[in-house]
A and B are shown apart, each in its own frame.
Chain A
Amino acid sequence: MLACKDLKIEFDRKPVLKGVSLTFPPRKISAIIGPSGCGKSTLLRAFNRMHDLTRGAKVTGSVTLNDREIYADDEDPVLIRRRIGMVFQKPNPFPTLSIFENAIAGLRLSGVRDKNALKEAAEQALTDAALWDEVKDRLKSNPTTLSGGQQQRLCIARALAVDPEVLLMDEPCSALDPIATAKIEELMFRLRERLTLVIVTHNMQQAARASDRTAFLWMGELVEADDTEVIFTSPKKSMTEDYITGRFG
């Protein structure tokens, strides 16, 4: 289970997250919502230690996966990132690699060389990402020939191929059209059976229909976190209600 406790993040001394504590129940979809700039993406990126790569970023507090602190000194961020995968807002397949090679890129990085294992893994991942039927005849072509929605599913396949426990999704549908978005939401429901999914979204309707738990962030602070049904029908905080009903943000 993924959880964070009293997580504080600063960029160049400016606080962006001011002490957030959340738990993400396993094999459920958790959504993080809030207005632009409230720190949703920052929070998400803390979970796979992407802030390690940003100069001037300071992370304090605790983030645990199955009760093991991922920011411990003896934990290797590279290994963390294999267990906690990420899909980004804009699809970013590697343009120098073919579709097949994109799918197994993560495996190759871990040193897997067996050709059959790689082929199987690619087919499995692409099937899980609901992309196999569309690309099985052109695995060697360049991913830039795919549509936006297909590219994003390729990125999901790529993340799935390394068999993570958690998949973090940073506004994965914001660059896609409604039909592609629907496909990805459908995909998320199926993935829920074996993974924990955490999705950041600025689209409240998406959070309402696609998630089991929702957390509402405002200006770097957690306002409320609960089952999605509760948040959207009877939120406990008035600020949550105001946001949900569109009074601000």
Chain B
Amino acid sequence: MDLPSTELPDAPSAGAAEPTPTKASALPFSEIAPPPPAPAEADPEPKPLPRPFAERSTGHAADRIFRLLTGACACSVAGLILVAIFYMVHGSIPAFRNHGLGAILSPIWDPTNQKYGALTFLYGTAYTSLIGMAIALPLGVLTAVALVEILPRKLSKAISLAVELLAAIPSVLLGLWGIFTLVPLVRAFEVYIYKSPLGLRKFPLFSGAPMGVGFLAAGVLLAIMALPFILSVTREVLLQVPTAQREAAYALGATRWQSISKFILPYSWKGIFGAGLLGLARVLGETMAVTMVIGNTPQIKASLFASGYTLASVIANEFTEAPSDLAISALISLGLILLVVSILLNGAARLMLLYLGNSSGAPRGSK
């Protein structure tokens, strides 16, 4: 730590016009707030500073400038949300003026003929996300239970590392893997169902030709992408359950599974729900991997085998080839839908995790 020699208490520091008494070291001790008292239980969160030191600032010109500069950085980052909303709305206005919000709900998308119905994309986004979450949420929660409650620590760490690394893989590479590895697997599975003597292919869920690409493949990829988020948040939530609760359950003679299922999981359900929302928010806007395996057909079909199209995919595929400015504006309006939904979902999930981290209702620090 290099302390400039001119900053010693008795020497005026460079650039200061104020006399010595205003320097931080000369503040009366009563002004310096004591550190907050230690909480009764071990608190994994770092303690918050009592009051930001800079509020009692020295009045240094350099301090003010620095504060302004960093404040400008902070404003610009936070303002980005407003900028995003503004520009997306602005870009969507031509589309809204042309065909209004209602037309978005039409299932016909044909820009060359002025048709801008987005229902198929809304359906596709919702359906693939549903499949993804239906796979990832139970898988993530059960895995988190295994890691926190059952497996030894070293193995737990290794497994959670393996799943976290999944989150580092770019979407396009998962899509690449999806095209050449997953889709053939899904296709084999679909063929199996198709040929099943139980006549499963008569069910709407399994109807249609088994091509591999489609909702199911996209759903599986989304599950792979949502899993790390769900796992890490659920793990944290489970680790937050106070030891006292676990001990109380065991002391009553609960088996390990009873204590997990009847006490630990119910205690953590709010956090798990928040994890689910976060995972959902993540997969709704997923573009590349989905685009590569969903078949890119705007249609509404119930079958897992069918091809579909999502909001993000249609933007990705058609933006650069849009036949008119109006079509571009329509695509931007689809982006606006994605923006609004992601803000709402993320906002709700974060608020939930912030204020209702566990059933005791005790507020946790921001995380």
Residues of A at the B interface (CB closer than 8 Å) are 48, 50, 53, 55, 78-82, 85-86, 88, 90, 92-96, 105-106, 108-110, 144, 155, 158-159, 162
Q: Which of A86, A88, A109, A159 contacts B262 (CB 8 A)?
A: A109
Extra contacts besides A55-B153, A95-B361 (11): CB < 8 Å: A48-B251, A50-B247, A81-B252, A81-B253, A85-B252, A94-B263, A96-B359, A109-B252, A109-B255, A159-B251, A162-B253
Q: Is the interface of B mostly helix, strand, loop or mixed?
A: helix
30 CB contacts below 8 A, A to B, read A48-B251, A50-B247, A50-B250, A50-B251, A53-B246, A53-B250, A55-B153, A78-B253, A78-B254, A79-B253, A80-B253, A88-B244, A88-B247, A92-B244, A92-B245, A94-B245, A94-B248, A94-B263, A94-B267, A95-B267, A95-B360, A96-B263, A105-B252, A106-B253, A108-B262, A110-B253, A155-B248, A158-B252, A159-B251, A159-B252
Q: Which residues of A contact B242 (CB under 8 A)?
A: 92
Q: Could you tell me which residues of chain B, from 227 to 272, have a CB within 8 Å of some CB in chain A?
A: 242, 244-255, 258, 262-263, 266-267
B248 touching A88, Cβ below 8 Å = yes
Residues of B at the A interface (CB closer than 8 Å) are 152-153, 242, 244-255, 258, 262-263, 266-267, 359-361
Q: What is the bound-complex CA distance between A108 and B251, given in angstroms? A: 14
Q: Which of A48, A92, A144 contacts B248 (CB 8 A)?
A: A92
- A102 shortest CB reach to chain B, Å: 9
Give the one of A48, A80, A85, A96 with max B CB within 10 A: A96
Q: What is the bound-complex CA distance between A95 and B356, given in angstroms? A: 13
Contact flag A86-B254 (CB < 8 Å), given A94-B245, A94-B263: no
- A156 shortest CB reach to chain B, Å: 12
B254 touching A109, Cβ below 8 Å = yes
Q: Which residues of A contact B247 (CB under 8 A)?
A: 50, 53, 88, 92
Closest to A81 in B: B253
Q: Which residues of B contact A96 (CB under 8 A)?
A: 263, 266-267, 359
